A = this chain, B = another copy of it.
Amino acid sequence: MRKLLLISTVLVATAGAATADVAVSGDARMGLTSADGGKEFQFSSRVRIKFTLSGETDSGLKFGATFRSNDAEKANLGTAGTAFIDIPNIGKITMGDAEGAVQAAVVQFAAIGYDESGKRQELKFLTGGDTGKGTDLLYTYSSGPLAVSVSAGSPGTGSGSGATEGADDFAVGAAYVTEFWKLAAGFEDNGVHNQTVLSGSYGNGQAELKVAYGLRDDDETQYVAYGTYIFGTNTLTGFIKQDFDGLNYNGVGLSHDFGSGLAVAAGYATKEGSDDLVNFGATMSF
């Protein structure tokens, strides 16, 4: 391998010049994963590359885009990856596989274990790019501790991520963040259902607790409570969840960081009525 980019720690300054650049980063993992509660394990590995494009004009207007190499064809069509323009004092406009405004505002629950453990910790959103459909628009504005967001699926076509035929989807969200606390709420409507989400988190740098609650217009509810505790270079995570169908989930994850991008992690996640997921292995970021 003749071409080694030492790009993680080197930043060449170009005094006074506006720039437009491409960054290449990556991640990988390898380990064992079980979909039947640990009776049988399978080998599981993954390698990915992420491209991050960024630019800034002399007047301070920032712009950029990002996608993963395995999404290259979808990014070319606008259904994966995102592009954005960030205008000082006006806000940031993101298009593509953009998050809905609720997801952008409320507290996030990172996947646990070495391979995401089925993402069983996730709150369900009705709108936005994570639903995997169409091209969405997200506008966010921050001022001191307050951030607001508004999003919409592609208008008039039912092509937005949460949209159904002939019904536009949209969402609004707001978050208030202090050094220790975050309080956030949002409302989203995908033309079939709407959902109101309330969330909060408290963290002191060593321990963090996050909760989120969603109320759908048919009175069904979902909630997640998620705790993180850091001791040394280890991180312990646990969650409980109930989805709109009333099914209960819980899970626990532990990771140990070797530094330089290498960590080992283990995860265990349950879902009422389904087999438990168990996994452990190494994660790498480059």
Contacts and interface: CB of A to CB of B under 8 A. Distances in A.
Contact of A21 (B8, B12, B64, B93): B8
B42 A154 contact: yes
A11 B1 CA distance: 12
Contact of A3 (B2, B24, B43, B73): B24
A69 B93 CA distance: 25
Which of A3, A157, A282, A284: most chain B Cβ within 10 A?
A: A3
Q: How many copies does the complex hold?
A: 3
A4 B55 CA distance: 11
Contacts of A65: 26, 28, 47, 284, 286
A265 interface: no
| Interface size band for A | 35 or more
A75 interface: yes
28 contacts: A1-B23, A1-B25, A2-B20, A3-B21, A3-B23, A5-B22, A6-B14, A10-B14, A18-B259, A20-B284, A21-B286, A22-B49, A28-B65, A30-B85, A30-B93, A43-B95, A44-B78, A46-B77, A47-B51, A48-B76, A49-B67, A53-B284, A54-B286, A57-B260, A57-B262, A63-B262, A64-B286, A72-B72
